[in-house]
Amino acid sequence: MATARQCRERPAPTQRIDDPRTVVLVGLMGAGKSCVGRRLAARLERPFVDTDDEIVKAAGLSITDIFSVYGEAAFRDCERKVMARLLEGPSCVLAAGGGAFIAPQTRALIRARAVSVWLRADLDVLVARTAGRTHRPLLNTGDPRAKLKALMDDRYPVYAEADITVPTGTESADRTTAQVLEAVRDFVTAHPAGEAPPA
């Protein structure tokens, strides 16, 4: 079963990839963008940056408070600006917020400057991984499963535009990280930086 403990496993050996692009992880809440992103950064010996943390720092408020005080539209505005700043900065592993890739201008920037990885999980996995946590305002409803299902229907066709898709389920976070690492290595070999992104 997926548990928070899996994020504290001992990291595997480092394995750098000689490619200047930032690796951006996208996917729904609970997909593992933060958990796998942190591990991937350690393995690639790159800085790890989490968009949600950067938004909290910039706003001086928790995500829950940004939603409740200013509303979701203001949060999305902040998210777009923070993503643009991070994508202009030094190469890193970037855990995007769950909705970041849905904004067309953010998606275009990611496509131009980064390698994107969709962590694709099914509904049961997402429900299990997000259960009992209160820091995700979109899921603080009477029926988080229904909300996740609605978001899947809206967003999965968009996440599918990512350069790479890695399925994630009941395997360990280390295992997912290893799969992402291998997929990124294959992608940058097939599509070197400086070439036009694949159609």
Ligand X SMILES: Nc1ncnc2c1ncn2[C@@H]1O[C@H](COP(=O)(O)OP(=O)(O)OP(=O)(O)O)[C@@H](O)[C@H]1O
Ligand Y SMILES: O=C(O)C1=C[C@@H](O)[C@@H](O)[C@H](O)C1
State which of residues 30, 37, 99, 144 lies at the interface with ligand Y (CB under 6 A). Answer: 99
How far are the Cα atoms of 17, 96, 188 from residue 102, in angstroms, in the given order? 27, 11, 23
Query: Is 32 labelled as part of a ligand binding site?
Result: yes
Q: Does 129 bind ligand X (CB under 6 A)?
A: yes
Closest to ligand Y by CB, 44 or 55: 55
Query: Is 30 labelled as part of a ligand binding site?
Result: yes
Both tokens assigned to 172: 């360990």
Can you state the percent helix, strand and coil of the chain, rounding each to 5? Answer: 55, 10, 35
Which residues inside 76-105 make contact with ligand X, applying CB under 6 A? 95, 97-98
Query: Is 5 labelled as part of a ligand binding site?
Result: no
**Of 100, 134, 111, 105, nearest to 27 (Cα)?**
100
> How many other CB atoms are there within 10 angstroms of residue 111's CB atom?
16
Q: What is the nearest approach in angstroms of ligand Y to the Cβ of residue 95?
A: 8
* Strand segments (E) across the chain: 22-26, 48-50, 93-95, 114-120, 164-167
Q: Does 137 bind ligand Y (CB under 6 A)?
A: yes
Closest to ligand X by CB, 159 or 187: 159
Query: Is 52 labelled as part of a ligand binding site?
Result: yes
Cα separation, 28 vs 43, in Å, equals 23
Query: Is 76 labelled as part of a ligand binding site?
Result: yes
Cα separation, 131 vs 9, in Å, equals 21
Three-class SS state of 133: coil
**Of ligand Y, ligand X, Mg ion, none, which one does residue 31 interact with (CB within 5 to 8 Å by kind)?**
ligand X
Which residues inside 8-37 make contact with Mg ion, applying CB under 5 A? 33-34
Which residues inside 131-170 make contact with ligand X, applying CB under 6 A? 136, 168
Can you say which residues are annotated as belonging to the binding site for ATP? Answer: 30-35, 136
- Interface with Mg ion by CB under 5 A: which residues? 33-34
User: Binding site: what residues are annotated?
Assistant: 30-35, 52, 76, 98, 136, 155
Residues that bind ligand X (CB under 6 A): 2, 4, 6-7, 27, 29-36, 52, 95, 97-98, 129, 136, 168, 171-173, 176
